[in-house]
């Protein structure tokens, strides 16, 4: 198959970033107006397709921030969350009316537990509220997304009925969130397959996945939904969000990238901006990224053991499935520690500018191992000290 034929059957997955809305719902995070605009500008550079800038009706400050993001961002749709009530829709329109591509995100819970305890609405009431809200919003917005909150715990028959109502009322995107991060990848994919099988007109709208990480499966669930045929994923930078967080954008992006031809899907992301975006979000939210975090942790491209370092020096694909350069880092790190081998040690000496004989390397390598037994990570300064000490005494 030539590249033209391949492209023809490639699907482009819409990336809906909710760092500024669901991400900001992380306990302890409160972004200022300026910080929101700074992150939104970076998300635009990263190439996300939709930026959910906030929940305009939740506070005057959020309305202003959504309005400013909408004013500044030109190359992505800017979105506000809204409950399925007129007051919220009015606030969202107030914030978004000057946007290049305004996008409304309406939601209403559909699961039995939410209907009974939170909403106190029966099934008919839920359906009529969805219809009323979308019908009302249509006079302002042409891009309307409807989310069936807690779709993952909703009876499938009822879920299909609600989706049918939303499509007939004019929703262009249907999002089925796993709000409480309960489902497994097979279960989540099956829900989408069932909806695709049963709901007439489903091929006229974009289906969207929105996963939470309560059981550590948000990214796996999002990928399973892509395999089931959906066209949009909702995610946050560094996976920040309510409770255990949302699906991490950078993980989804690189999972797609590393199997693009197998999945036959791609994104419009500028992957080289991933690292910079991750650092910025971490700094401005105050949410630390653990060293072993996939893709953006400081250890994600660091190799310590001698066997791994030796493999890396011969061919980096032995231990790297993607390059650090592909996410905007300059290089992989070979970390010298007690598991490191002579090969990596010698390589480091050359990098530090020392021309040493095999005998000198052998001697220094023994001294290095003694030090590494006492110290977790050996820095360049430690190595320089070892060499200088040897020179003084020889």
Is 83 a binding residue for ligand KIV by CB under 6 A? The answer is no
Among 15, 17, 22, 195, binds Zn ion (CB under 5 A): 22
Q: Which does 167 bind (CB under 5 to 8 A by kind): Zn ion, ligand KIV, none?
A: none
The answer to whether the CB of 238 falls within 8 A of the CB of 202 is no
DSSP 55: -
89-92: long-range contacts, CB 8 A cutoff, minimum separation 24: 89/133, 89/136, 89/137, 89/140, 91/56, 91/57, 91/63, 92/56, 92/57, 92/66, 92/141
Smallest distance from Zn ion to CB 18, Å: 7
What x-and-dash track marks residues 40-79 binding ligand KIV by CB under 6 A? Answer: ----------------------------------------
Q: Which does 149 bind (CB under 5 to 8 A by kind): ligand KIV, Zn ion, none?
A: ligand KIV
CA-CA distance, 234 to 14, in Å (whole number)?
A: 9
Burial class (CB in 10 A: 0-12, 13-18, 19+), 317: exposed
Q: H or E stretch including 130?
A: helix 123-137
Among 110, 147, 208, 278, binds ligand KIV (CB under 6 A): 147
CA-CA distance, 48 to 17, in Å (whole number)?
A: 7
What x-and-dash track marks residues 173-212 binding ligand KIV by CB under 6 A? Answer: --x-x-x------------------------------x-x
User: Any known ligand binding at 212?
Assistant: yes
Q: H or E stretch including 50?
A: strand 50-54
Q: Which is nearer to ligand KIV, 235 or 300 (CB)?
A: 235
Is 110 a binding residue for ligand KIV by CB under 6 A? The answer is no
Is 145 a binding residue for ligand KIV by CB under 6 A? The answer is no
Q: Which does 147 bind (CB under 5 to 8 A by kind): Zn ion, ligand KIV, none?
A: ligand KIV
Is 107 a binding residue for ligand KIV by CB under 6 A? The answer is yes
Sign of the alpha-carbon dihedral angle for 18, 252, 248, 275:
negative
Sign of the alpha-carbon dihedral angle for 65, 67, 70, 72:
negative
The two beta strands, 11-12 and 265-266, are parallel
Q: Which does 269 bind (CB under 5 to 8 A by kind): Zn ion, ligand KIV, none?
A: none
CA-CA distance, 103 to 165, in Å (whole number)?
A: 20
User: Any known ligand binding at 343?
Assistant: no
User: Any known ligand binding at 157?
Assistant: no
CA-CA distance, 190 to 221, in Å (whole number)?
A: 11
Q: How many residues bind ligand KIV, per CB under 6 A?
A: 10
Q: Which does 107 bind (CB under 5 to 8 A by kind): ligand KIV, Zn ion, none?
A: ligand KIV
Q: Which is nearer to ligand KIV, 67 or 212 (CB)?
A: 212
257 by DSSP, 3-state: which? helix
Smallest distance from ligand KIV to CB 67, Å: 20
Sign of the alpha-carbon dihedral angle for 167, 171, 172, 176:
negative
Smallest distance from ligand KIV to CB 209, Å: 11
Contact residues toward ligand KIV (CB under 6 A) are 22, 81, 107, 147, 149, 175, 177, 179, 210, 212
Q: Which residues are annotated as a binding site for Mn(2+)?
A: 22, 210, 212, 246
């Amino acid at each position: 198959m030539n590249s033209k034929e391949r492209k023809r059957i490639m699907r482009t997955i819409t990336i809906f970033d909710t760092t500024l809305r669901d991400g900001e719902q992380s306990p302890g995070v409160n972004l200022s107006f300026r910080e929101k605009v700074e992150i939104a500008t970076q998300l635009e550079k990263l190439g996300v397709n939709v930026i959910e800038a906030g929940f305009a009706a939740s506070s005057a400050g959020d309305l202003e921030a959504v309005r400013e993001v909408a004013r500044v961002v030109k190359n992505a749709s800017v979105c506000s969350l809204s409950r399925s009530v007129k007051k919220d829709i009015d606030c969202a329109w107030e914030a978004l009316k000057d946007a290049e591509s305004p996008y409304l995100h309406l939601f209403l819970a559909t699961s039995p537990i939410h209907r009974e305890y939170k909403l106190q609405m029966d099934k008919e009431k839920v359906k009529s509220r969805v219809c009323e809200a979308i019908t009302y919003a249509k006079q302002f917005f042409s891009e309307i997304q409807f989310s069936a909150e807690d779709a993952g715990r909703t009876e499938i028959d009822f879920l299909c009925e609600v989706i049918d109502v939303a499509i007939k009322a004019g929703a262009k995107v249907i999002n089925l969130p796993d709000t409480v991060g309960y489902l497994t990848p097979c279960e989540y994919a099956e829900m989408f397959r069932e909806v695709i099988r049963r709901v007439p007109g489903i091929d006229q709208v974009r289906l969207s996945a929105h996963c939470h990480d309560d059981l550590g499966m948000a990214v796996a669930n999002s990928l399973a939904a892509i395999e089931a045929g959906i066209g949009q994923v909702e995610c946050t930078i560094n996976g920040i969000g309510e409770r255990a967080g949302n699906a991490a954008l950078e993980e989804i992006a690189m999972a797609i990238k590393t199997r693009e031809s197998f999945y036959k899907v791609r994104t419009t992301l500028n992957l080289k901006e991933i690292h910079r975006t991750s650092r910025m979000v971490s700094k401005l939210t105050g949410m630390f990224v653990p060293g072993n975090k996939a893709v953006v942790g400081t250890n994600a491209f660091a190799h310590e053991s001698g066997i791994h370092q030796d493999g890396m020096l011969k061919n980096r694909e032995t231990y790297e499935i993607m390059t650090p350069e592909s996410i905007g880092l300059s290089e992989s790190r070979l970390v010298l520690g007690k598991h490191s081998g002579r090969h990596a040690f010698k390589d480091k000496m050359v990098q530090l500018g020392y021309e040493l004989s095999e005998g000198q390397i052998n001697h220094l390598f023994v001294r290095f191992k003694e030090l590494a037994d006492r110290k977790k990570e050996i820095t360049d300064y430690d190595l320089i000290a070892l060499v200088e000490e040897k020179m003084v005494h020889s």
